[in-house]
Amino acid sequence: MRPRLQTLAQHPGVRACAPWLALLLLNALFVAPAVVTSLRTRPYLLLQPSGDLVVLMLVYMAAGRWRATRWVQRLAVFTGVVLWTFMWDELLVSTIFRETPPLYDQTYLLRHLMVLALDLWDWKIALALASVGLALGLIVILGRWLFRRATTELARRPKAQTLPVAIGLAALVLVGTIIDQNDTPRRRRKGPPAPDAIHWTTPTLVENLRASVRMYRALQRGIEDSPYAGYAEQYTLTRKPDVQLFLVESYGRILISDPEEGPVWEAHIRDVQARLTAAGWHTVSGFSQAPVSGGRSWLAEATVLTGVWLQYEAMFQQLVANISKTPNLVAFLDAQGYETILLAPKDRPRPGVEDVNRYNYDQQILALDLEYTGPGYGWGIIPDQYSLGFAHDNVFEATDAPLFTNFHMVSSHAPWRVVPELVEDWRTLSSLALPDDVEEHRFISPKRELWERARHYRREWTRNAYMGDADALKMGAFAATIHYDLELLATYLEALRGDKLVIIMGDHQPPLLSSDDNSYDVPIHVLSRDPALLQEFREVGFVDGFVLGAEDRTTLGHESMFSLMVRTLVRCCTTSGPPAPSYLPDGVRPDSGRTAKR
């Protein structure tokens, strides 16, 4: 059998076709990442010529023909590897996130996925990563062999044979590209987009890099030329009500718009309203548009605190790296003499995650500070009632200065498998045992957790979920955790005394899909025993009470909150000085992003 194969390989016809077959296979390998999602319906796309590959091979062969320095050939090969790697990056990232964020952003997302992998590390994850590495290595070896086979064989042939072919390939690429650029009817056609005659990757890569540069420069300009500059120096509060911010994890509009859970929420929130009204609280409510949905709470929180629209992780990292130059609510209140306290019961140092005081709070109360020894409840582990009770009794009450507290609540974080119960004394939670019939359902496999947690970075309007459709079971579990947190806050506020301004708001929509609501809106409830403190919120569209309707318009965006909060405090709590700062409904928007439906 082997002699026959060797004879066949030496056949003139086979030898003549070998480099072209190698080139065809190399082209298919090169464009595979860009077309793999369409292979089921359009398998012929693997035959689509790659303009990048044709140009690089012509440059490589011409350099060899004309005895150019070897660095030209090496540059051509390096460029091909970069483009091919970028196509695989586009495929993987778009599969997970349903879009391709700028490369500048992806560098930070990769770090988050690495931290997640370390959190969930076991032999299955190690085996999966090793398999991916092995597969990529084999693909690289195959591509290198095909490239050398094609270029070496073609370079050996006389110019009279190869030059017409080279000219023909160049003409094919040029004509196909011109046709693609001028075929307007094809581009406007409804249904799945028709494939281009020639596939180009270089323009996409260049535009991605340009978007990264634009993002960096725009945010840097927003930091350096901030409209909030001077807040801390211009104003001096003579009255200093405690400011308490409660960020209820995943408390989104979907809970109100859902036909089943909406009426349940309304009945519960009316009861909360009645209890707090009886306790002397006045309330206004509205919807705010978050910059993210389904996850990445830290971006939503940062947008609220800084007034800068932060849709991408890279923007967040750039901003917190310049936090000393970036005006923010924590710094403003600190300059007014407030004791600033962060209560973040999920935060803890671990491999890849440092204990960082990003906004320079005076105190941070993190997971290990809470001394919790009870059972873990869901993703957040420590129930919110315990965290709030511990912080209030041990820290808040021990502080004489006016307080700014930021409590990012965790009990309503997906996957909502266990809902804590409110108890008479929060201290008893540290010694309770989780029921046996619930314990076995607390954990999911590392593989599934890695996939689901990675997918929560999705950003598209209608594909912002990693938990599937918002069916009755998931919505019921989600709603139960929100009701738990709202009930906890109602009980806490009933007993709270003193001059307070309280903000209860969602950070972002939950990781659920729903045909009834795929917006980025979250409810905001602002409370005070002094109705004058709520006037600024009324003027921008907030309504009295807790109840919001499913069809109510979006009142503001998270990036509006910083200017609105400062304006509220200056209007109510200063006796002299410059006029109150203007309300900035768009905040600082370094990226065009989405426009709020207000």
Tell me the pLDDT tens digit for each residue of 129-143.
778 778 777 777 777
In the 8-state DSSP scheme, what is residue 394? I
pLDDT at position 220 is 77
Q: What is the per-residue DSSP string for 535-595? A: HHHHHTT-EESS---TTPPP-EEGGGHHHHHHHHHHHHH-SSSSPPPPP-TT-B-SS--PP
What integer is the mean pLDDT of 546-554? Answer: 91
**What is this structure's pTM?**
0.73
Poorest-pLDDT segment among 156-160, 268-272, 472-476: 156-160
297 within 8 A of 558, measured Cβ to Cβ: no
258, pLDDT greater than 70 = yes
pLDDT at 21 over 80: no
* H or E element at residue 364: strand 363-366
Structure tokens belonging to residue 25: 């296979």
What CA–CA distance (Å, rounded) separates 240 from 568? 12
**What local confidence, expressed as pLDDT, does residue 91 receive?**
73
Alpha-carbon distance of 238 to 325, in angstroms, equals: 25
Q: Which of 184-188, 508-512, 542-546 has the lowest mean pLDDT?
A: 184-188
pLDDT at position 437 is 45
**More confident call, 513 vs 596:** 513
Give the tokens for residue 525: 């409830």
Distance CA 299, CA 291 (A): 7
Look-up: residue for tokens 């150019």?
Answer: 68
CA distance 232 to 225: 15
- Per residue in 407-434, pLDDT tens? 999 999 888 878 888 999 999 988 776 5
Cα 525 from Cα 554, distance rounded (Å): 14
* Per-domain residue ranges of the chain: 9-183+197-213, 226-573
C-alpha–C-alpha distance, residues 504 and 546, integer Å: 10
Chain segment 484-498, per-residue pLDDT in tens: 999 999 999 999 999
Rounded Cα distance between 592 and 219, Å, is 11
Is CATH 1.10.3720.10 the right assignment for the domain spanning 226-573? no
Block residue for tokens 């306790």: 279
CA dist., res. 411 & res. 99, Å (int): 30
What does DSSP assign to residue 501?
E
Among the listed ranges 210-214, 528-532, 580-584, which one has the minimum average pLDDT value? 210-214
Query: What digits encode the pLDDT tens for the residues 342-359?
Result: 999 988 765 555 678 899
Label residue 158 by pLDDT band (50, 70, 90).
low
Query: So what's the pLDDT on residue 94?
Result: 67
Higher per-residue confidence, 541 vs 110: 541
279 vs 184, more confident: 279
The rounded distance, in Å, linking the Cα atoms of 17 and 15 is 5
Q: What is the pLDDT of residue 121?
A: 60
Strand 521-528 and strand 500-506: the pairing is: antiparallel
Q: Label residue 210 by pLDDT band (50, 70, 90).
A: confident
pLDDT single digits (tens) 51-88: 777 777 777 777 765 665 777 777 877 887 888 778 77
Cβ atoms of residues 548 and 256 within 8 Å: yes
- The DSSP call for residue 243 is E
What is residue 530's predicted lDDT score, i.e. its pLDDT?
94
Determine the pLDDT at residue 438. Answer: 44
The lowest-confidence range among 105-114, 304-313, 523-532, 537-546 is 105-114
Proportion of the chain above pLDDT 70, given as a percent: 69
Reduced to 3 states, what is the DSSP secondary structure of residue 392? Answer: helix
- pLDDT bracket for residue 176 (50, 70, 90): low
Which residues does 373 contact at the CB level (< 8 Å), separation at least 6? 430, 431
Confidence of residue 154 (pLDDT cuts 50, 70, 90): low
> pLDDT tier at 444 (50, 70, 90 boundaries)?
very low
Instruction: Say which residue, 45 or 577, is predicted with more confidence.
Output: 577
Q: Is residue 102 within 8 Å of 215, Cβ to Cβ?
A: yes
Residue 341 phi/psi, 5° resolution?
-135, 130
CA-wise closest residue to 198 among 23, 34, 41, 20? 34
pLDDT surpassing 90 at residue 97: no
CB 485 within 8 A of CB 248: yes
| Burial degree of 574 (CB within 10 A; 0-12, 13-18, 19+) | middle
Which pLDDT score, from 0 to 100, does residue 523 have? 96
Please name which of 524, 520, 509 lies closest in space to residue 565, comparing C-alpha atoms. 524
Listed in sequence order, the residues at least 6 apart from 376 whose beta carbon sits closer than 8 Å to its beta carbon are: 382, 434, 442
Write out pLDDT tens, residues 353-401.
567 889 999 999 998 899 888 888 887 889 999 999 999 999 999 988 9
Distances (CA, A) of 444 to 346, 440, 493: 19, 10, 36
Phi, psi of 522 (to 5 degrees): -135, 150
pLDDT of residue 113 exceeding 70? no
Query: Please, are residues 500 and 529 in contact by the beta-carbon 8 Å criterion?
Result: yes
Q: What counts of helices (H) and strands (E) characterise the chain?
A: 21, 9
Q: Estimate the crossing angle of helix 70-97 against helix 202-224, to 10 degrees.
A: 70
